[in-house]
Structure 1
Amino acid sequence: MNTSSLHHFRQARAAISFPISRTITHAITHALLATLGLSAACAAQATVITFDGLIGLAEPLPPAYTEGDFTVTPTGGNWLQAQTFGAPVPSVYVADFHGAPFGGLSVTGPGLFTFDALDLAPGLSAAGYEVRGYKGGLQQFSLSGNELNTGAFHTLLSPSRLAIDTLSIDVSGAGPGSINVDNIQVSAVPEPQAWSLALVGLAMAGLAARRHGHLNGRHKG
């Protein structure tokens, strides 16, 4: 092959390989960006119910209080809004200064979620608690115990990472006093289709990279 022919061959090969390489590179870039975007969306699902939307002072907790995508519903006891005590304020509480306070809360979301933690603070007397997670009406886990009156909030950590659709929180005092609840932390479980799309994105990136390597090999040959 003479110099002129070799020059034309190289130009022709460049004209073919550059657009293919650019197209493959763009495909890989878009696939990876889509995958990273979905992964970030799937990972950033944690919600802390801080009760910051409550502005009443010792007023009843609404029948359904929504924060983010989650709803807190009183299921027992006389729950009130606390604007002078919280971690930080506000929080919610039940109180009985003649008998023993008791109360129940239910937390639900738009789909499945996990329970991470909550803050609990008994006042004047010790308090017992039971936190249960349900899925389809079946109990998935239970966390129970007693907290002393220390004048401060204590964080209860979840014993399980099982996905649930309902979180039940029950508290009861050992004597006259109050029980405050704050910072209920839950994490939404990503929908299966979100993970499927992320896997498809990874597969597309791998296929594009493999095809790019194969084409390069053919051109070199």
Structure 2
Amino acid sequence: METMLSLPKKLNFGSGKSWKEDMFNVDVLPERGPDLLFDFNDPFPFDTPLLTSRFGEVSIQRNHFDYILSDNVLEHIPDLITAMTNCIELLEVGGILEAMVPYDLSYGAWQDPTHVRAFNERSWLYYTDWCWYVGWTDHRFDLIEQSYTINEYGTELMQQYNDITKVARFPRAVDALHVKLRKRVTTAEEKLQYQAFNRGA
């Protein structure tokens, strides 16, 4: 009798062409061969039996994963709030969401007809300091790292300005953003602020 593998603690969200042996691979396209076929535009079915290709039938609880990788995926998702809510609920407290996304001034932002959005430095506010806007009150993300992927043009500008924040203002100089978001419990003070912003709730 074949023994099923134990469910990893790391999730590859939108695994696509970047399928990883040591992670739980989730994708919307069956031809990519994910462990779980699922669309992150939909709320995740926690505590529900799910049939996977490598791990048999599993029931995933909230806070199961300690790390989520999202490599050029978020720009394809129409309902980003639902997708990000899935991510924060799937992660344990202290867990990391690492994402690579196209920068909004890059060529790559809109060269792909399946892209529905691009990103800039402020794209994470609604999942961090302004999380109450999307209905998060118990948990939020902290942006712990943000960096740029620059191209040849960006490299030339860096030699001139030696300041990535100045270079990022030039269209076509930055290709992508790389961010790390860490889940944490909201503080009592933050909860009071959220209540003030949602008086009619």
Normalization by structure 1: what TM-score?
Answer: 0.28
Structure index of larger Rg: 1
Higher RCO by CA contacts (8 Å cutoff, separation 6 or greater): 1
Report which of the two has the higher share of strand: 1
